[in-house]
Structure 1
Amino acid sequence: MISSNDFKTGLTIIVDGNLWQIVEFLHVKPGKGAAFVRSKLRNVETGQVLEKTFRAGEKVDTAHLEKNEMQFLFTDGEEFTFMNTSTFDQVAIPKSSIGDGVKYLKEQMNVHILFHGTKIIGVDIPTHVELKVTDTPPAEKGNTAQGGTKPATLETGAVVNVPFFVEIGTTIRVDTRDNKYLDRV
């Protein structure tokens, strides 16, 4: 149990039997009446955002999350199989639970999987991944003065805008949070 006075951004709590992550919070002390905490919560499983007000000092259950490093092995249609790197246990996770990060998954890549008990809550893909360009149009001569970009398809199927000098076979670093080209490797 934690007091609403001790809220922190990113803390995961249990409200009405669901897991919620604190996105924002604000301690309010009005001139008249009791203090309260206004918060914005995001449902960990559905992504729904909720604004909720707690009385100052109100007790809330905290969720105990476990983060395990796991290695991506293979995909079987809509399910992705991961292996725990320490116990060698395997777990299959549906594509919908991984979200947009699925387009960056490469075999043998290590990721962090969040568990609440035995329930899988989410998959944390690394923020920067190195992938090889498999398809991109050829560079256009004389068109580089403005520093333009062109689309490039990566080995995982993701499409990223890259500078004109990037060619097929080049390994690049991509930011998975906003799908942006960072640099050549």
Structure 2
Amino acid sequence: MKIDGNAVRPGNVIEHKGGLWRAVKIQHTQPGKGGAYLQVELKNLRDGSKLNERFRSSEKVEKVRLEQRDYQFLFQEGDMFTFMDIESYEQIALPQDDIGEQAVFLRDGMAVQLEMYDGAPLGVHLPEQVELTVAETEPVVKGQTASSSYKPARMDNGVRVMVPPFVNEGDRIVVATEDTSYVKRAD
């Protein structure tokens, strides 16, 4: 689907220079001389390279629609992660490079969404929040009662999270997968 160059938004996937690119950041610029343009930071979905491009409103850009499919994470073998299509039970293995830093949050049986283009997987979307167990944290230091005081903690999967002082070892907490931030205590 063709769209105007100034209609690109963060998260959009476009076909550009023979590859598939996701718009990461955009900035509208109107110089004193000449026409306005959109400065777009693009990330290649195949190899992860980045590119900065300028698109004017008169230019047309090919916006790509990705198919979202529900999969279940089965297991990890080396740096390969195996997922199963929930509908067809077909299995697919992806290298860690395709999953990125989010791989540490994958648990056996976890429901995820795979982005597909022409039958080939491009990326994995994990749930926004996951429950983890605190494996190690420092004890509370008396006198640090400021509401913004947080302490470092290591989760059972190795991820480091800044947690409030009342969280102790063995507690279950909810962590945001996007930025590994503490959300709340698990119910």
> TM tier, shorter chain?
0.7 to 0.9
SS in 2 for 1:169: coil
Give, in whole Å, the separation in 2 of the partners of 1:93 and 1:39: 32
Contact 1:174–1:183 (CA<8 Å) still a contact in 2? yes
- Equivalent position amino acid for 1:180 in 2: S
Contact 2:6–2:37 (CA<8 Å) still a contact in 1? no
2:112 maps to 111
- Summarize the alignment of residues 47-58 of structure 1 with structure 2, pairs less than 5 Å apart: 47-58=48-59
What is the TM-score when the length of structure 2 is the normalising length?
A: 0.82
List 4+ stretches of structure 1 deviating above 6 A.
Answer: 29-32
Shift of 1:94: 0.8
Q: Structure 2 vs 1, CA of residues 3 and 155 (structure 1 numbering), >3 Å: closer, same or farther? A: same
Give, in whole Å, the separation in 1 of the partners of 2:21 and 2:127: 23
Give, in whole Å, the separation in 2 of the partners of 1:124 and 1:41: 21
2:19 maps to 18
1:167 aligned onto 2:168: yes
- Equivalent position amino acid for 2:125 in 1: D
Q: Is the deviation greater in 101-110 or in 146-155?
A: 146-155
Contact 1:68–1:113 (CA<8 Å) still a contact in 2? yes
Give, in whole Å, the separation in 2 of the partners of 1:159 and 1:94: 23
Structure 2, unmatched stretches of 5+, are none
1:150 aligned onto 2:151: yes
Say what the alpha-carbon RMSD is for the aligned residues.
2.6
SS in 2 for 1:72: strand
Q: Is the deviation greater in 60-69 or in 1-10?
A: 1-10
Shift of 1:132: 1.9
1:140-182 Cα deviation digits (max 9, x unpaired): 4625423543332323222212223222321100112221111
Contact 1:129–1:173 (CA<8 Å) still a contact in 2? yes
SS in 1 for 2:103: helix
Percentage of identical aligned residues:
31
Give, in whole Å, the separation in 2 of the partners of 1:29 and 1:149: 44
Q: Structure 2 vs 1, CA of residues 182 and 3 (structure 1 numbering), >3 Å: closer, same or farther? A: closer
- Summarize the alignment of residues 21-36 of structure 1 with structure 2, pairs less than 5 Å apart: 21-22=22-23, 23-24=25-26, 26=28
Structure 1, unmatched stretches of 5+, are none
SS in 1 for 2:167: coil
Shift of 1:62: 2.6
Q: How many residues align?
A: 182
1:74 maps to 75
Q: Structure 2 vs 1, CA of residues 50 and 139 (structure 1 numbering), >3 Å: closer, same or farther? A: same
- Equivalent position amino acid for 1:7 in 2: A
Give, in whole Å, the separation in 2 of the partners of 1:180 and 1:165: 16
